[in-house]
Structure formats: structure tokens, C-alpha cells
Structure 1
Amino acid sequence: MAEEQNLRDLKERMKLISDADPAQYHNDFSLRRYLKAFKTVDSAFQAILKTNKWRVEYGVAVLHENKELIEKYSNKARVLRHRDLVGRPIVYIPAKNHSTTDRNIDDLTKFIVYCLEEASKKCFEEVVDNLCIVFDLNNFTLSCMDYQVLKNLIWLLSRHYPERLGVCLIINAPVFFSGCWAVIKGWLDENTSGKVTFVNSEMDLCQYLIPDMLPTDM
């Protein structure tokens, strides 16, 4: 199959960098995600090189040591202890706790990367290697709407965490959010927008996860 041949070819290219720096190694699951997202061996390899460079320059491996940052933004998002019904780690985001006037975009982006890293570490890749992101729009107001943060999240997912998003659930959305969504959807490719689901009832939510696992202390 072409898919398996592409994987073999990409693994051969990866030897060039993994032999020089073992820390740069991506396992087969990661390589498959890059191939799926970037289509060709050459494009996937170039994307991996860019991700490896970004991870070093951004200090991704040590973000968990920045306790001050994690504490500062701890009410913005949380990687839950529980998983969704197919085993995905869950990143829960209560949008009501966000305000465009009370955030440093660079620090908040680092916190987003920290959350993506922590969630990715929880993946049982042999079973499911993608994430469930839940945006809870309960008590959401327009002052909570931060387009730049969402652009950064979309960029991170597409460039450095390709195919990590399994499903994005938007719960408790107010009617006026449809206008916001029209803008956001324009930034997403068809594959990604197809992973976004608006959940309109607790019964619908039960198709994805157990509602009682969502935090009430944020």
C-alpha cells in the first residue's frame, strides 16, 4: 500500500535526524499523523523539521516547570483525569473565565502548548492518538471572545500537533455565538471543521463523554 511505503520512506529520512539527535525522534504514530496531514513524504518531513526546531526554540520540553505560568492560567483550561467514551484525553475550556483585557497573548499561548503537551502524553496511542477539546460556553459573553487566541490554537494544531484533534465539542453555546462561529469556521480547513460538534443537550453530550466528569470548580 502507498500509505505503508510512504511511512517506510519517511522513517528512512527520519534516521538522518534521529541518529544525530535521538530527542528528535517521532514514533510511527506521529509519522502517520504528519503524513495524513501533509499528504506527501517530503511535505511531512519538512513539517517535522519545522516542528522539531520550534519545540527546541519554544522550550516545549520544560514548559511544565513554569509553575507561575501554569498557576496564573489554571482557570482557563484543564486536562481532565477522565477520558471521553472512546478513550481520548479531554482538554476542558470554560470560556466564561477568559477576557481579552486580562491576558498576555504570549504567556497564554505557552499555556495552551503546555495543555496540548499534557493531553498528548495521556494518549494510549495504540488505541487512540487524538484529543477531545471541550469548549464550555456557559455564561459566555462577547468580552470572552478572543479571536487571536483561537487563531494561535488553530495554528498550533495544524502545524505542530497535526491530526491530534479528534473531536471539538462546543457545549452551552448561546444563540449569538453563531456569528462568532461563522468567522472561526472560515479559518478551518474542511477536515478540521468537520471535527467540531455543537452539543445542544446533556443527552447529546452523553454520546461523547459522561457529563459528570466536567469540572464545576472552574
Structure 2
Amino acid sequence: MSVDLKKSGANGSDKPTVLEEQQEKIKEVRKLLGELPDKLFIFCSDASISRYLRARNWNVKKATKMLKETLKWRFEYKPEEICWDEVAHEAETGKIYRSNYIDKFGRTVLVMRPGCQNTKSTKGQIRYLVYCMENAILNLPPEQEQMVWLIDFQGFNMSNISVKVTRETAHVLQEHYPERLGLAILYNPPKFFESFWTVVKPFLEPKTYRKVKFVYSDDHGTKKIMEDLFDMEQLESAFGGLNQSGYNINDYAERMKEDDKRMPLFWSRENPAAFSGPSSATIPCFNPVNSECDSDDSDKEHVENSSPCGLASDHLSEVNLLEINGGGNSTMEIQSGSDKAT
């Protein structure tokens, strides 16, 4: 005998299921967004709208406002059009890269090493981080929306900290990549980092900082976190695993170039994983504005009107997502994807 879950047990009257209610809210957001050009509508799948609704506790108006801001940011910044040739110089030391393994939940893993900072351009560092985030999303399996950050603190010192950049990048990550970060593992953070964490924590949503886990190689209790999350045969030895292979810029460059070829198709109607919803219209929901950056003049390098990837890449706006940078302008990011983070 089948049971109709849509009926309320008390009086037999129709009652929407949770999923139906959520779907109605998704439709409300789409209606409030209004008509969008194809290029932006592709970022408004049901799954994407749902992430913004979850980030705003299913408040339709707040989620719509948040998503509109993201659409404006994507319109100006065009993160999906950044390609390897633009950011390769930032990747030389392996300060951020996508690992060639996933966790036990199928989540993409981004390795971050703030002590390996090799550039001074704030905009360049952040642009590379955005590239890495977009690449991580590209490589998520269809059933998974979130990623894991492995943050290695070897070689990290006080000069790698910038509260200002952290605050800005935290804002972009939380506002434009909601529900994307599943877990951030801080591996062997130095003692002084605890004070910095106390300063940064108020900038983060509660659901965000709860996703941050401190792991120490000499603490058997926290080491179990790694064993529960990863296949230790695949996990790099730097994080307590058995994989002795390290970061190789040449091998990584080949992987990224191949991924760059896949990106245009990923953000297209031909990819059902990236798009679901009614046919799009052609009128933007906002007036795009050229935003000014507050970073130094050296940031102007690598910001071109046309992308070396052959994609129509415009000027970008400035704030980028969370990053772990080193050097004078660097960031220490610690974000998560629950409430508002990636």
C-alpha cells in the first residue's frame, strides 16, 4: 500500500512537501530576477538558486538580492573566462592547485600553501584564486556541489597575513560562491595563527567557520579527520598520506590547459549539469557598472580586454574570492561553503 506524503495526517488535506515548497521558492526567485541575457541565465539553474536560498535561510527576497549581486559580478569579472595562460605565473610555486585526488565524498580538493606566495599583485593573486575555484567547480561530479580546501601552513609566517585582503576575499567568497565549500582543513597552523583566527572569525558566518577544522600532524585525535575523509594511499605525504608525488608545474599546466578547453561547454545549455530552467530572455536585470580596484598599479598587468584563451574576456572588477596569499599583500583565507561560502 502506497502512502501519499502530500497529505497531512490530521485532516487529509493537501499539504506541499518540503521539496515542493523549495521548488516554489526557486520559481519565485527566478520570477524576481526578471529577464536575463543568455550569458547570465546560464548561471541561474535550479541548483544554483537553491544554493543562494540555503545561504539566506530560504528567504526569497534576500536570496534574490544576493544572486543579482553575483550576476553583476560575473558580468563584469567573467571568472569563467579566465584561462591558464593568464595566471600561470601565479601557479609556479604551487601555492594553490587542484589535487589529482578527491575525498571520500567525491569532492574536489584544492590544496593551498600560503607560505609559497610568489607574487605581490593583490589582483593577480585573487584572480588566480578565482581561476582555481572555477576549475574546482568544473571538476565536481554531477551529484556534488561542494569542495574541500587543504591548507598547508608549512613555511607560513606573520608576513603572509593581511586582514584587509582576507576581509575582502571573504566577502566575495561568501556572497558569490555560497554553499560551495564543504570543509576547510587548516593543517599544522602555527601558534600565532590562533590570534589571527580570532580576528577573522567575526567576518565569517557561523555556518562558515564551523566548516573549518584544525588538524595537527602530532595529534592522533585530529589526524583521524584525515583518515575519515581521504584514501590515505592517495593523500599527499605533506598531509600525512602515503602519496609521495609532489606538485609539478609542467604536469599541472597540461591538466589546466585541457580543463580550459572544457570550460565553455560546461557553462552552456548543452550541459544539463550546469543549466536547468525555462528559456532565457535578453534583458539584463541590472545596469553593469565598471568597478574600480583599490590594488596597486602592478595589478594592471594581465588585465586585458581579450583573453589569451580565445574567449571574449572583459575587464574585471576587483574583489575575488577567498584566498590564501603570502607576501605583503597576501591573504589568509578560511572560508566555508555552508551559509555563504563557496
Quickly name the TM-score band, shorter chain normalised: 0.7 to 0.9
1:206 partnered with 2:227 = yes
2:107 paired with 1:88: yes
Calculate percent identity across the aligned residue pairs. Answer: 26
SS of 1:173 mapped into structure 2: coil
User: 1:38-84 CA deviation, whole Å, 9 max, x = no partner?
Assistant: 221111112111111110101222112x513x212113200122111
Q: Please list every run of 5 or more consecutive structure 1 residues that lacks an aligned counterpart in the other structure.
A: none
Aligned residue pairs total 213
* Bigger fraction of residues in helix: 1
| Letter of the 1:213 counterpart | L
Which letter does structure 1 place at the counterpart of 2:64? F
Report the Cα offset of residue 161 of structure 1. 0.4
Q: Which amino acid aligns with 1:108?
A: Q
Q: Name 2:196's counterpart in structure 1.
A: 180
- Contact between 2:29 and 2:60, CA under 8 Å: does it hold in 1? no
- How many angstroms does 1:15 deviate by? 5.5
**How far apart, in 1, do the equivalents of 2:36 and 2:173 lie?**
27
Equivalent position amino acid for 1:30 in 2 = S
How do 1:41-190 and structure 2 match up within 5 A?
A: 41-64=60-83, 67-68=85-86, 70-74=87-91, 75-98=94-117, 102-126=119-143, 128-190=144-206
Moved more, 13-22 or 37-46: 13-22
RMSD: 2.3
**Which residue of the partner structure matches residue 21 of structure 2?**
5
One-letter identity of the residue aligned with 2:98: V
Measured in 2, the distance between the counterparts of 1:179 and 1:210 equals: 32
Residue 217 (structure 1) aligned with residue 247 (structure 2): yes
Q: Which segment drifts farther, 4-13 or 28-37? A: 4-13
Q: CA deviation at 1:113?
A: 1.1
Q: State the shift of 1:199 in Å.
A: 1.0
Whether contact under 8 Å (2:32, 2:64) holds in the other structure is: no
Deviations 1:98-153 (A, max 9, x none): 27xx4211121111111111111112242x21110111001211112233332233
Distance 1:11 1:56 in 2: 22
Q: TM-score, normalised by structure 1?
A: 0.86
Structure 1 residue 87: Cα displacement: 1.1
Of stretches 200-209 and 85-94 in structure 1, the one that deviates more from structure 2 is 200-209
Work out which structure has the larger RCO, using CA pairs closer than 8 Å and 6 or more positions apart in sequence: 2
Measure the CA separation in 2 of the matches of 1:143 and 1:4: 51
Could you list the per-position Cα deviations for residues 17-37 of structure 1 after superposition, in whole angstroms to 9, with x for gaps in the alignment? 586423323222211111010
- 3-state SS of 1:206 partner: helix
Shift of 1:8: 2.2
Q: Which residue type is aligned with residue 209 of structure 1? A: F
CA distance in 2: counterparts of 1:141 and 1:30, whole angstroms: 37
Q: Which has the higher strand share?
A: 1
Measured in 2, the distance between the counterparts of 1:138 and 1:36 equals 35
By how many angstroms is 1:196 displaced? 0.1
Q: What code does the residue aligned with 2:121 have?
A: N
Q: TM-score, normalised by structure 2?
A: 0.57
1:27 corresponds in structure 2 to 45
Change (3 A) 1:175 1:168: same
8 Å CA contact retained: 1:29, 1:125? no
Amino acid at match of 1:181: W
**Matching residue of 1:193:** 209
